Chains A and B, each alone.
Chain A
Amino acid sequence: MSLTEAATPSLVVSGTRIDIIERGAGRPLLFLHAENGIEPALGAIEALAKGARVIAPTHPGYGRSELPKGMRSVDDLSYFYLDLLDQLDLRDVALVGVSLGAWLAAEIAVKSTTRLSKLVMANAVGIKVGDRETRDIIDIFALTEKEFIEIAYCDPAAGRRDYKALPDAEVLAAARAREATARFAWNPYFHNPQLKSRLHRIRIPTLLLWGAHDRMLSEAYGRAYAALIPGARFEPIERAGHFPHQEQPKVFAEKVLAFLGGK
């Protein structure tokens, strides 16, 4: 299935039209995609839909979603999604995000967990852990795409995309994803200096999933992140790198659904 080939449902939130898909039934699960966009997440979304009503928007600036004027930060994005939760009147929502989507999930949860029941963050970025001269997160904009894939994935074949063979809309979505990610994460680099001191406000059950072969971020970074959220659990996912939902969609979905089931 390719989102960009079929007509995708869209939603207008605060005057901005975004793509949004919905799969499955049951308790609501808001899935926040990573910096590489919605396409690589489709397998995980289908797997999650076996146990939840998955609502998966494409972030403003990504895919075909519009970008509101003046939106420049993940903090801005978090208010957009708080509006979306209100607009759809979602309650007891499981909030699940990967990488930049996990950062976004944390930014939402520190502001309000009123509509949330559980939080799952996979290979989350968003905080500064090391000292000022220690780079927590590899500078992906200083890498070629080939170098990035070798660092980000357990199996680089999982990340390679043949742009000459892909549909135009998918190539354009990849180009928009790169630009939108830089817009939100160029400086400060993939983090909000204020976020760390706010994480204690997250008082819902939280799970940190971690693709164990991520070389863009270290596992120590993930464990430090988990330690800042009261009661958060940390679970590695083997044979996966920075995008575990993409490399191990079934394992990813099983772990998420097990956590939501209370196990």
Chain B
Amino acid sequence: MRVYQFTEQPYYPTWNDHAGSLRVNLLNRKCDPRVAADLFHRYYDEWQLADGLGLDIMLNEHHQTATCMSSTVVVGLSVLSRITKNARLLVLGYPIGHRPDPLRVAEELSTIDVISRGRLDMGFIKGVPYEFPASNQNPVAVMDRFWEALDFIIKAMTTHDEIFNWEGAYFHYRQVNVWPRVWQEPHPPIWTTTGSTTQARILGERGYVMATLGSGYNTRPLYDSYRRGHLAKWGRAPGPDRFAYLGLVAVANDKDEARKRGDLVAGYLRSSSIVHVPFRNPPGFLSPEDNARLMRGVMPPRSYTKDRRVIDMRSASVEDLVAAGILFCGRPDEVYDQIVDFCDYCGGMGNLLMMGHAGFLTHEQTVDNLSLFAREVYPRLKAWRQPDAERIAAEAVAAEKPAAARVASVRAGDLVDATISAR
């Protein structure tokens, strides 16, 4: 198993001073650039530490928000590709659903892949709902735009012996020839996220690494759908390295300190959904059928504990978040047991996207959290034997329900970079 250290690089000083919206319309007057500079340097220091501890690194971007100061992920990737040595650098995600220019994306990421000497993992997403008002990209039919951008980026990265032309529904280019060319052949690994079983199957057919974010005990149906798609297309089961899960991690030798850290890290969940209401669900993000259900007041269940108790991740206690597989929290032995138990539920999962810092967790607490995890938990996770992939995939096929059986899909707005499609 690989473990990627992730923080959203929050500007947490405004988290208690936001008048109801931390995203899109929280005035940037609230941002003190001197404080922001200190925070950026602190977060880069912590990632450098993670690199030294043998962990990998995950970065993301969001826009017009105090939840995440990284508004262009290429800046963080650029810094880290220079100051880290061994860590894989995962961007999850690069929001190509609303980014205007995929040629620019291909150029940026190729450059990062070269400077880091082949350490880039490319996670592409459509972008979270509230960023469509900010970017002015049309949220309707965004997946069509997403797929065209992705197809273009792959072609731009894999074409070396000709200059090509592209005149699609969304993007037009006439002389494409990306310099520098990518380090990893044929291109850096592609990752993406989803909360939809329909989409998961497509991702399995494409063979991309599929990440789910805070999906807890809604995860298995997504993985099984991926497994069916992968098996049908490739004739073999996907290994655990095809799956990634974002969970919050708080570990300490002292039980009370671990709980305290868990509570601070969970501040991410509590702040993430503080958004001006109309920006949470732009038109086209959900299907008209799902929107009609919401208009009638039917809310999809959000998160479950292992014993199928519904919890609200935005307000749940540390104990409930642990029970829901969203937070791994406790002493090292406990955290190891929780993660392994969850991976077992998933039928195998090879990439833990570890939110080891969030919100008000201090630098000292973060350093201790990462160090303790790397020393006491990570070696045992690496040694843990994943379930047999072929057996699990065969079971997934055998258990496939008729198409009408619909898994409660996760609402697009609830998660970080969740759901490249809830359609």
Chain A residues with CB under 8 Å of chain B are 70, 72, 139, 141-144, 163-164, 168, 171-172, 174-176, 178-179, 181-183, 186-187
Report whether B279 and A186 are in contact in the complex, using a CB–CB cutoff of 8 Å. no
Indicate whether B169 reaches chain A with its CB closer than 8 angstroms: yes
Q: A182 near B278 (CB under 8 angstroms)? A: no
Q: How far is the CA of A164 from the CA of B293 in the complex (A)?
A: 10
Q: Is A187 in contact with B138, judged by CB distance below 8 angstroms? A: yes
Interface residues of B (CB under 8 A from A): 25, 133, 136-141, 169, 276-279, 282-284, 288-289, 291-292, 295-297
Q: A172-B289, A174-B292 are in contact. Are A144 and B283 (CB under 8 A)?
A: no
In the complex, what residue of chain B is closest to A148 when comparing beta carbons?
B278
- Please give me the residue from chain A that is nearest to B294 by CB atom: A175
The 9 tightest CB contacts between A and B, nearest first, are A182-B283, A175-B291, A175-B288, A183-B140, A163-B295, A186-B138, A175-B292, A172-B292, A171-B292
Whether the Cβ atoms of B288 and A179 lie closer than 8 Å is yes
* Contact present for A142 and B276 (CB under 8 Å): yes
A144 touching B138 by the CB < 8 A rule?
A: no
Contact of B137 among A175, A178, A179, A187 (CB under 8 A): A187
Bound form: Cα–Cα A168–B278 in Å? 23
Q: Report the Cα distance A172→B296, complex, angstroms.
A: 10
Alpha-carbon gap, A70 to B169, bound state (A): 8
CA distance A141 to B278 in the complex (A): 6
Q: Is the CB of A171 within 8 A of B141?
A: no
Q: Which residue of B lies closest to A70 (CB)?
A: B169
* Contact of B137 with A141 in the complex, beta carbons under 8 Å: no
Give the Cβ gap from B228 to chain A, nearest Cβ, in Å. Answer: 28
Q: Are A141 and B282 in contact (CB under 8 A)?
A: yes
Q: Among the listed A142, A171, A175, which residue makes an inter-chain contact with B278, where contact means beta carbons less than 8 Å apart?
A: A142
9 pairs from A and B in contact (CB 8 Å cutoff): A70-B169, A142-B276, A168-B292, A172-B289, A179-B140, A182-B283, A183-B138, A186-B136, A186-B138
Chain A residues in 8 Å Cβ range of B140: 179, 182-183, 186
- Nearest A-chain residue to B291, judged by Cβ: A175
A178 CB → nearest B CB, Å: 5
Cβ–Cβ < 8 Å partners of B137 in chain A: 187
B330 to chain A, nearest CB (A): 41
State the Cβ distance, B97 to closest chain A Cβ, in Å: 13
A168 to B140, CA, bound (A): 22
Say whether A179 contacts B284, CB under 8 Å.
yes
Residues of B within 8 A of A143 (CB): 278
Check B283–A179 contact: CB distance below 8 A: yes
- Besides A164-B296, A164-B297, A175-B292, 11 more A-B contacts (Cβ < 8 Å) are A139-B133, A141-B278, A142-B25, A142-B279, A163-B295, A171-B295, A172-B292, A174-B295, A175-B288, A175-B291, A186-B138
List the B side residues contacting A179 at CB < 8 Å: 140, 283-284, 288, 291
Are A183 and B284 in contact, CB atoms less than 8 angstroms apart? yes
Q: How far is the CB of A263 from chain B (nearest CB, A)?
A: 41
The smallest C-beta distance from B300 to any residue of chain A, in angstroms, reads: 15
Bound state CA distance, A175 and B281, in angstroms?
12
* A171 partner residues in chain B, CB cutoff 8 A: 292, 295-296
Provide the residues of chain A in CB contact with B289, threshold 8 Å: 172, 175
The residues of A that contact B169 with a CB separation of less than 8 Å are 70
- Contact of A142 with B133 in the complex, beta carbons under 8 Å: yes
Residues of chain A with a CB closer than 8 A to B282's CB:
141, 182
Give the complex CA separation of A37 and B292 in angstroms. Answer: 15
What's the minimum C-beta distance from A225 to chain B, rounded to whole angstroms?
Answer: 23
